[in-house]
Each structure stands twice: as structure tokens, then as C-alpha cells.
Amino acid sequence: MRWTESIVVDRPIGQVAACIADENELMQWSAWPQATGYTCSIDGDGTSVGSCIVFRDNKGVEQGRQRLASATADRIEYRLSNRGPGGRTMTPEVDFRLEAVSAVSTKVFLDFHVDVPLPPVLHQVAEAVIGRRVRALHVKDLQQLKHHVEGAPAAT
């Protein structure tokens, strides 16, 4: 399963990148905690490569991790490991590519990729169901990122 979503944020690329690459900031705008009902904590400082957002269910059982894999001025990569269908481990990749539209606007691309670990017969059904829900949450994530960043004071 693979797709790209995008949005234009009316803030400079550096300000947008900072809100994506800092897991403390990311947790302020991400749609995922509310959508899943999971509580989230950060393992590490939230800004260094290797830091993780840890997702736990209402019993405190870890359900997944989102690790900051790399961060540059125009690309932030996250690697996840979480429980998927039938308790199988899934390892989605979520990459944010940033492109300056102007000195004060940034186009954010969210690239998603995951291989669903199921037999071929179930694979297509799972992709259809998971794809609809996950893609909708990625669109919401981008909208909430835009709202979060544009609500912050403009960088000087």
C-alpha cells in the first residue's frame, strides 16, 4: 500500500519542519492519539534520530512505536512498528517531504508505504479497509499540521 497526500502551509519551511521533526510538537497536532484512543509518550528527547513515540492501549500495553529515522531541512522520515491485522507486526514508513513554495509558504508531502503481512486472499481486503481509514487520518494529520503551524507566531 502506497500513497502521497499534500497540503500547503503558510509558514516558512524551517518552521514547518520543526513542527514535524520534534515529536513533542507532532503530538500536539497529530490525529492519531484521538483516533486510536491510545496514550502516547516519548522515548528519548523527541528531536534526536532514534527517539520514539510509544503508543499504549487503555491497559498500558504497548501497541506500537514511531521512530524518528532521519531529519533534514526538507525531509523527515518516521519508521513505525505496530500491531496490525491478526496481531501481526506491521512496519509502515511515513515520510514528510517539504518544498518551499515561497519564502513564507511550504508544500508538505506525506508519503506513506506499508506491506500488509497477510496471505494474498486477505491482503486485498485488508488493504481496502486499512487504506481508507489510514489515508483519511493522513489527510486529517496534514490539515491539523497546517492549523497548528499557522496558529503559531510567524518565524522572524
Task: Name, in order, each residue with C-beta under 8 angstroms of 155's C-beta and a sequence gap of 6 or more.
Answer: 11, 12, 14, 15
CB 129 within 8 A of CB 135: no
How buried is 23 (Cβ within 10 angstroms: 0-12 exposed, 13-18 middle, 19+ buried)?
buried
Give the separation between CA 70 and CA 50, rounded to whole angstroms: 8
What is the value of pTM for the model shown?
Answer: 0.90
Residue 145: pLDDT band by 50, 70, 90 thresholds?
Answer: very high
pLDDT of residue 98: 98
pLDDT of residue 153: 73
Q: What is the pLDDT of residues 75-126, one digit of tens each?
A: 999 999 988 766 778 899 999 999 999 999 999 999 999 887 777 777 677 7
Residue 155: pLDDT band by 50, 70, 90 thresholds?
Answer: low
| DSSP 8-state class, residue 87 | G
How buried is 17 (Cβ within 10 angstroms: 0-12 exposed, 13-18 middle, 19+ buried)?
buried
| DSSP 8-state class, residue 45 | -
- Sign of the alpha-carbon torsion through 64, 49, 135, 36: positive
Which H/E stretch holds residue 131? Answer: helix 120-151
Give the separation between CA 45 and CA 22, rounded to whole angstroms: 9
> Computed over its alpha carbons, how large is the radius of gyration of the chain?
16
